[in-house]
Amino acid sequence: MAHESSWDADEALTAVYTAHYSSLVRLGALLLRDTGAAEEIVQDAFVAMHGRWHRLRDPHKALAYLRTAVVNRCRSRQRHLVVVDKHLPKSLPDEPSAEQAVLRTAETDRVIEAMRTLPEKQRTVMVLRYYGDLSEAEIADTMGISRGSVKSHAARATKSLRQVLEQSTHE
């Protein structure tokens, strides 16, 4: 008993820390593949040991206690990360950058301007086809024209849009 009281927690832990901190961090880093997390775990193990120093039966086994604490805390952290990964939301699609959004808006504006140059029936067919996502039959029913007329208007509109957009690109 007299031996335990002479073994001061601050002095003992300072000695163990100085001698073994780096090797304990390496141990944790090898288990976690994350040096920062390993450093936190080792620090937490030292803090916990300091708080329980008076309960340690054999102060000479402090290093073994710390190794066990580091391994157990690393395993606990790994289990926690598995659970966190399991409950992460599915990855969201990448958002376009501000530049991409501006370019897309500019391109959309060019297409809208080009659409305004089309005759009404051609413009209506293109809007119903690409914006309304209607089939040729649905467009024909909606406009009261034949499917052949829908195909014809779509072909002419596509050709006209291509020409107008190519001209605006070269300007």
What does the pLDDT look like over 32-66, one tens digit per residue? 889 999 999 999 999 998 888 878 777 778 888 89
Place of tokens 């301007």: 113
pLDDT cut 90: percent of the chain above it:
45
Task: For 33, list phi and psi in degrees, rounded to 5.
Answer: 60, 30
Task: Tell me the pTM.
Answer: 0.49
Cβ(143)–Cβ(125) below 8 Å:
yes
* pLDDT one-digit tens code per residue, 78-119: 999 999 888 877 766 677 777 887 778 888 888 888 888 999
Q: How confident is the model at residue 1 (pLDDT cuts 50, 70, 90)?
A: very low
CA distances from 164 to 130, 147, 152 (A): 18, 26, 18
